[in-house]
Structure 1
């Protein structure tokens, strides 16, 4: 075998090894749970992993007409009238989709069309619209003072702590038949 044939063979072998290692690295799944188990277990309080606005909060923030960074029930009353006026007629699900995108940020955001349509007739009446907006206001007004402050419009999600248990343990089920008992 000539020197160039051996050199080409070595190059081919090197490329084959690099390709194999690359494919192996791509096929390896990282630990999707994040930190290692010892670091994940904690006796302290849960940490917040995120703070988010409720979808309806954007609508309520827009109803703060006096700019005091709180939305009063009086402002909500005026906001409801203004929002209702944007509909040409009592909205059906199709009309509601546009309103939901503009005011809640998504057609899937809560409250949904079904939440507004209390009698399930496929159309939202003015009374149903008012009732649902007022209900959402009252749910967020944690201190029941008739004013929604920004802090009441957010939700914090806690980071999970500790190891996950197996499904049979989570549901309180005994070991199934045919399974070997755990040691």
Structure 2
């Protein structure tokens, strides 16, 4: 009986008889095995500012007009400008960016938005900056931003691939 038990345990622990499921080739115990398969890198991404503009689609038609964007900006600006001063300092602007763009350092930065350099951002300055962004993103120049226009196609999905392909480290 002890011999049979020892033989059974030896067979189970043997690399040649390692337990597998039906879809995999047995991997000898102690070997590294195949490299792990990671998720496919995204080929479509969205800028934080584009993501915010997409949320400004008030009528739900899948496209955002300049008017919808400006109304949305005014509403978001007012939620941070709790003192109703009509301006945001750079720290308050970072609060706005964190809440509406997802990160305190997301673009546009306060430095590029503050057109007159007074260290304060007004709604007019924010509107002007977003108008520039709107114009850049409105590929077909129809005055609306669609989800397709708000997506960015990544040109290089796997950086470093070309170097490895040519035999370089």
Q: Which of the five TM-score ranges fits, normalised by the shorter chain?
A: 0.5 to 0.7
Tell whether 2:56 aligns with 1:59.
no
How far apart, CA to CA, are the structure 1 residues paired with 2:54 and 2:100?
A: 10
5 Å-filtered alignment, 1:55-134, equals 55-86=48-79, 87-88=81-82, 89=85, 90-134=87-131
Q: 2:138 aligns to what? A: 141
Q: Contact (CA 8 Å) 1:141, 1:152: kept in 2 or not?
A: yes
Q: 1:154 aligns to what? A: 151
Could you tell me the TM-score, scaled by structure 2's length? 0.64
Q: Contact (CA 8 Å) 1:58, 1:103: kept in 2 or not?
A: no
Q: Contact (CA 8 Å) 1:84, 1:126: kept in 2 or not?
A: yes
Could you tell me the TM-score, scaled by structure 1's length? 0.59
How far apart, CA to CA, are the structure 2 residues paired with 1:81 and 1:162?
A: 46
Structure ranking higher on relative contact order (CA contacts 8 Å, 6+ apart): 1
Aligned residue pair count: 124
How far apart, CA to CA, are the structure 1 residues paired with 2:70 and 2:101?
A: 18
